[in-house]
Amino acid sequence: MSYAENKPLQIAIDGPAGAGKSSVAKVLARRLGCIYLDTGAMYRAVTWLALQKQVAFDDMDGIKDLLQTIELEFKDVDGMQHLYCNGTDVTEAIRTPEISANVSAVSMIPQVREAMTAQQQKIAAGSDVLMDGRDIGTTVLPNARYKFFLTASLEERARRRALELEQKGIAVDMEQLIADIALRDKKDSEREVSPLKQAEDAVLIDTSSLTFDEVVENLFMRIKK
């Protein structure tokens, strides 16, 4: 529990794809001693399961069945956070370009958002938490004590994503990657339910010309103040 109030500490980090939210959030959560929740991973896992079970994204009965049976669990494995979907470790499987290309379509389904938001709020009710995503400051944790909106230029975000993919041995076509990220941002920003949007009370941080350590330090100092 946080020292300042008797309520659990809530920190929201939102922003477009590839702005560095998850890497920053992981380190920051460790330094602050709170739980880190990667909400994008949850939407990716729903997408993975729908593709595995061959449920079409417009098959609402099929999607509802999926949501009724899906069990998502974050577990620590050798100091790394892994995500299990119905008992299967999907940590790597949810990072493929195929999942990235389909996740916006799944995350615009209102029933999917409702189910994920409920799970996220339940976790935040009992523990100090730092969540990253698209709608944390606006919808999931509207009363979060700290809200940040991390962004960076499209080219810089694509460059960072390319590095991540290359480190995993996934071949990258830079032009295609830029187009894919731009399209995902557009879909995430234009959807009807809980679109990607900066909360009015969120601090905007453009990370284009900042190093990773500078971003972590920036957020850490604002929280400690």
Question: Does residue 40 touch ligand DC according to CB under 6 A?
Answer: yes
Q: Which stretch binds ligand DC (CB under 6 A): 79-87, 130-138, 162-170, 199-207?
A: 130-138
Shortest distance (Å) from residue 188 CB to ligand DC: 5
Phi, psi (rounded to 5 degrees) for 29: -60, -40
Question: Does residue 188 touch ligand DC according to CB under 6 A?
Answer: yes
CA geometry: angle at 216 spanning 211 and 222, to 5°?
Answer: 125
Shortest distance (Å) from residue 22 CB to ligand DC: 6
Out of 10, 91, 104, 151, the residue judged to bind ligand DC by CB under 6 A: 104
* Separation between Cα atoms, residue 79 and residue 82, nearest integer Å: 9
Question: Does residue 44 touch ligand DC according to CB under 6 A?
Answer: yes
Tell me if residue 10 falls in helix, strand or coil: strand
Shortest distance (Å) from residue 53 CB to ligand DC: 19
Q: Nearest to residue 136, comparing CAs of 38, 221, 215?
A: 38
Q: Nearest to residue 20, comparing CAs of 167, 151, 189?
A: 151
Q: Nearest to residue 107, comparing CAs of 27, 197, 47?
A: 47
Nearer to ligand DC (CB atom), residue 139 or residue 216: 139
Shortest distance (Å) from residue 219 CB to ligand DC: 17
Q: Which stretch binds ligand DC (CB under 6 A): 36-44, 75-83, 169-177, 215-223?
A: 36-44
* Separation between Cα atoms, residue 67 and residue 88, nearest integer Å: 16
Question: Does residue 39 touch ligand DC according to CB under 6 A?
Answer: yes
**DSSP conformation letters of 132-192:** EESSIIIII-TT-SEEEEEE--HHHHHHHHHHHHHHTT----HHHHHHHHHHHHHHHHH-S
User: Of 15-34, which residues contact ligand DC (CB under 6 A)?
Assistant: 17
Out of 46, 128, 135, 158, the residue judged to bind ligand DC by CB under 6 A: 135
User: Of 81-100, which residues contact ligand DC (CB under 6 A)?
Assistant: none
Nearer to ligand DC (CB atom), residue 43 or residue 146: 43
Question: What residues line the site for ligand DC (CB under 6 A)?
Answer: 17, 39-40, 43-44, 103-104, 107, 133-136, 184, 188
